[in-house]
Amino acid sequence: MAEINKGENAVAIENMVRKVLEQIAVGGNAPATSGLSGFTGANGENGIFTDMEEAIAAAHKAQQEYALYPMRRRDDFIEAIRDMVRRPDILRKLSEDAVAETGMGNVDDKMQKNKLVADKTPGTEDLITDAFSGDDGLSIVELSPYGVIGAITPTTNPTETVLCNSIGMLAAGNSVVFSPHPRAKNVSVFLVSELNKALAALDAPPNLIVTVAEPSIKSTEAMMNHKLVRMLVATGGPEIVRTVMSTGKKAIGAGAGNPPVVVDETAIIEKAAMDIIAGCSFDNNLPCIAEKEVFAVEHIADYLIFNMKKFGAYQVTDENDLERLKKLVLNDKGHAETSCIGKSAQYLLGKIGVKADPSVKAVIIDCGFDHPFVQEELMMPILPIVRVSDVDSAIDLAVKAEHGFRHTAIMHSQNVSNLTNMAKRSQTTIFVKNGPSFAGIGVGGEGYTTFTIAGPTGEGLTSARSFARRRRCVLVDGFNIR
Ligand code: NAD
């Protein structure tokens, strides 16, 4: 627990009482400190603070201590985090609470995602030292901590992002202050407090991972502008990415995507259909990498749709139903309606009066390129399919629909030239060939995982090395043994 003297303690208690009274006065919900998170502790207990300033000061103190720890202790702490997440009770609670609080996604897929992070997020092994040796001696370049990192996390993968950021940032020797999305605050606060308990059991410096009980735009702004926060990492939509990049601090921006899928006439259509529906319906389409629209060469389009239906797609064809679906899932500004994001296909169909079998995993529609479902990042298991005359037109339209995010694209084809052409044209951070989108983050595909995929700032799939500074150390005239 953070050391706080009596004066500070009294102020903290006074602040908490004032907050409770304010909430009662406006008839609001119970404060976060007694919400789903179950956080009822004192200010600073298990890394949860009432005030952002105090949270940052505590994380700064922790990092200064942590910087003196040997690497093997970092490994121990990261292993403790992995073990904590893998506990069946914790894994289930994190996943259930995230769905309950945000109203998005489904528990089974969230359990898989959290477990994936525990298993496949790189630790200290990711920090590779470079060496130069010659007549003048030996120089090494080592990956060192920034200090305190401020991390802003989304509603769509709230616990997954806190977990993968914590592992990577601690592996690189930093401490981290989280600013979770206010709509995911309780589950995030719960997770941060569990992380603190796991670290405390190994006598780690207290407050390596902290947050505030009531995250808000104001507290995020305070964090972004604080002089002790040396690096910012934003996982979210375009606005927050733009904001962190304009702070003047080192920033990593992991922003929006609108991943297109191209299916050409050489693809193995049955497998393409299966992969596309699996990727598009995973956690009700919440992952930023999930398939969002399909461009199918006319020649195989009917057969692709036929197979998609075999793998759990429901095609909406009735004009009135299509209109109702549009009204349901788009808001006044024509963007994704928040209350529909991450909802199941069955829920969405039910809302427009279509009773679907429980096996239905995704809604498909046959439409033109200009349809808003093609252009907007919906984050719902709704997949528009656009027919195109040939593969080159499919690639052209796919690149346009991706809107220059350079995030993720998927292609199903057996033609190497077509695959290469799409990879070069799209310039996406992740390009998956002949698999579901989640193969790109290590599920059924090679490589490590992350839920912070930094296209705009270029780190790509972030890992410990993304959260480290390169520092050179030079020994003159020594240790060259060649
Ligand atoms: P969001 O942009 O609404 O929120 C993300 C975070 O930014 C939240 O913590 C939010 O509170 C904060 N935020 C947003 N605007 C802010 C402002 N003006 N000032 C201070 N804080 C602000 O995103 P979301 O709905 O939670 O997540 C979905 C979006 O994030 C999608 O666009 C998705 O593609 C993207 N995303 C990207 C990645 C990636 O790795 N590239 C991962 C997950 C989500």
Asked if residues 313 and 364 have their Cβ atoms less than 8 Å apart, the reply is yes
Distance of CA 297 to the CA centre of its chain: 32
Q: How far is the CA of 473 from the centre of ligand 1 (A)?
A: 38
Instruction: Answer yes or no: is the C-beta of 153 below 6 A from any ligand 1 atom.
Output: yes
Instruction: Answer yes or no: is the C-beta of 460 below 6 A from any ligand 1 atom.
Output: no
Q: Which residues pair with 262 in a beta bridge?
A: 295, 411
Nearest residue to 158 (alpha-carbon basis) of 178, 173, 174: 178
Give 396's Cβ-side CA count (13 Å radius): 9
CA distances to 169, 185, 241, 416 from 455, in Å: 19, 26, 10, 25
Asked if residues 249 and 229 have their Cβ atoms less than 8 Å apart, the reply is yes
Q: For the chain (length 482 residues), average pLDDT per consecutive 10?
A: 39 44 33 44 91 98 98 98 98 98 98 98 98 96 98 98 98 98 98 98 98 97 98 98 97 98 98 98 98 98 98 98 98 98 98 95 98 98 98 98 98 98 98 98 98 97 98 94 86
What is the reported pLDDT for 39?
57
CA distances to 255, 258, 265, 269 from 275, in Å: 24, 17, 16, 10
Q: How far is the CA of 11 from the centre of ligand 1 (A)?
A: 33
What is the reported pLDDT for 40?
63
Instruction: Tell which phi-psi region holds residue 458, choosing left (phi > 0), alpha (psi between -120 and 50) or beta.
Output: left
Nearest residue to 219 (alpha-carbon basis) of 463, 32, 454: 32
The label of the residue with tokens 């995704």 reads 362
Instruction: Answer yes or no: is the C-beta of 302 below 6 A from any ligand 1 atom.
Output: no
Q: How far is the CA of 364 from the centre of ligand 1 (A)?
A: 26
What is the reported pLDDT for 12?
46
Protein residue with least CA distance to atom 36, ligand 1: 236
Range 356-359 contact pairs with CB under 8 angstroms and sequence separation of 24 or more: 356/314, 359/312
Task: Tokens for 30, please give them.
Answer: 């119970």
Q: Domains in the chain, start-ordered, CATH in brackets?
A: 8-255+460-471 (3.40.605.10), 260-446 (3.40.309.10)
Task: Tokens for 427, please give them.
Answer: 């310039």
Distance (Å, rounded) from C-alpha 74 to C-alpha 122?
12
pTM comes to: 0.92
Distance (Å, rounded) from C-alpha 165 to C-alpha 162?
5
Instruction: Answer yes or no: is the C-beta of 220 below 6 A from any ligand 1 atom.
Output: yes
What is the reported pLDDT for 481?
87
Q: Which residues pair with 229 in a beta bridge?
A: 148
Asked if residues 195 and 47 have their Cβ atoms less than 8 Å apart, the reply is yes
Distance (Å, rounded) from C-alpha 279 to C-alpha 438?
6
